[in-house]
Structure 1
Amino acid sequence: MNPPDDTTRLGHFLGPHGVSGGVKVYVLGDPAQLLELPRVWVEGRGWLRVRRADPLAPGVALHLAGIITREGAEALRGANVYAADADLPPLEEGEYYYHELRGLPVYGAAGERLGEVADVQDAGHQDLLVVTHAAGEGFLPLQAPYVEVRLNAQGRPEAVALTDEAPAGLLGEEEGEA
């Protein structure tokens, strides 16, 4: 069962928290984003209502409808957790969610269009943009000073651009083509 469109992966379940069905979440990004969610989409289960969310350094403990025992929480271990993009809390000006990068054009340092962002993946120590381009698909590290996310007048992402400091070949192009 694949997650619905217009959802963003928040992290994955680590295991039980307590004896009454709480489950710890390894959170990608800011754990505070999970505290007010009305529901989450759980891999293998579908949409579940959030009964309660407790801050738990470094993540969050979720109490979900239908999960009331430690064994029920244990069964969720390793499952990915998603939120509907529309349910995510608003951000401060100039900040953005990674799902807002999907579909944006990617430009080279000289302004040429290189491709489009298909997705963002957590690669542990660094996030990667999955970029579709003329030669197929490639990964682009979402890392300053090589990549800049350009914002529009409303402070929302409108494009991704490589900077002059980006090494040649980040998307697999030959050095002479860049």
Structure 2
Amino acid sequence: MRDSLVILGEIVKAHGLRGEVKVRSEICDPENFRLPGIRLRAPDGTFESVTVLSYRVQKGAYILRLADFSTIDQVLPRVGWEIVCYGSQLPALPADEYYHFQLIGLPVFNRIGEQLGFLTEIMGNTLQEIYVIRSNPEAKSGSELLLPVVAAYILEIDLEAGRIVVDPDGNGAKMAATDGGADIRE
């Protein structure tokens, strides 16, 4: 999983006339845009190497200045392209912290071992992130469980075993060895 491609953001439009791009991204650390080996992925699956010279935040999005792009005409054809890197290029996180790509798709079990579904999405809100667990991740139908990412609900994340253990009733804080739960990053 660590060597899979990770989407850092998507170019949503050109910004200004000097070749900057506006990027929608959910990443926690914008410095990830400056990692070596960052590439643009076109909708047809082809890649183009790129270097991010600078970035800034503007109205909830990132404005990136890319090397070798100095006009709006150079960046307009790349609207809709994704900015990607390999998971192995991302900085290592402290223990009990995870990137979203490491968690999405993992099976989710309750504390007695029954599989509840798969983690399909991680939503943000003002207090904490929310895990979206679906019994059938391929279809819009089926049951859906929303759990806040706090110790009372998220009991264990085991990347080696490839599983997440939760307590849907929120009684896990009484059983958890630590408080505060895991710190999740994108």
TM-score grouping bracket, smaller chain normalisation: 0.5 to 0.7
Distance of aligned partners of 1:160 and 1:6 in 2 relative to their CA distance in 1, 3 Å threshold: same
Unmatched runs of 5 consecutive residues or more in structure 2: 171-186
The percent of aligned pairs where both chains have the same amino acid is: 20
Give the aligned CA root-mean-square deviation in angstroms: 3.6
In the alignment, the residues of structure 2 paired with residue 124 and residue 29 of structure 1 have an alpha-carbon distance, to the nearest angstrom, of: 12
In the alignment, the residues of structure 2 paired with residue 68 and residue 6 of structure 1 have an alpha-carbon distance, to the nearest angstrom, of: 31
TM-score with structure 1 length normalisation?
A: 0.64
Which residues of 2 match residues 6-155 of structure 1 at below 5 A? 6-30=4-28, 31-44=30-43, 46-58=46-58, 59-63=62-66, 67-117=69-119, 119-120=120-121, 129=132, 131=134, 133=136, 139-141=144-146, 143-145=148-150, 147-148=153-154, 150-152=156-158
Q: How many residues align?
A: 157
Distance of aligned partners of 1:101 and 1:157 in 2 relative to their CA distance in 1, 3 Å threshold: farther
TM-score with structure 2 length normalisation?
A: 0.62
| CA positional deviation for 1:42 | 2.1
* Amino acid in structure 2 at the alignment position of 1:88: L
1:165 equivalent to 2:169? Answer yes
In the alignment, the residues of structure 1 paired with residue 21 and residue 137 of structure 2 have an alpha-carbon distance, to the nearest angstrom, of: 43
Preserved contact between residue 94 and residue 156 of structure 1 (Cα < 8 Å)? no
Per mean C-alpha deviation after superposition, the further-off stretch among 6-15 and 41-50 is: 41-50
Distance of aligned partners of 1:101 and 1:16 in 2 relative to their CA distance in 1, 3 Å threshold: same
* Amino acid in structure 2 at the alignment position of 1:29: I
Q: Deviations over 1:131-169 (max 9, x none)?
A: 4559966654463347527245xx878422332436xxx
| CA positional deviation for 1:103 | 4.6
SS of 2:93's equivalent? coil
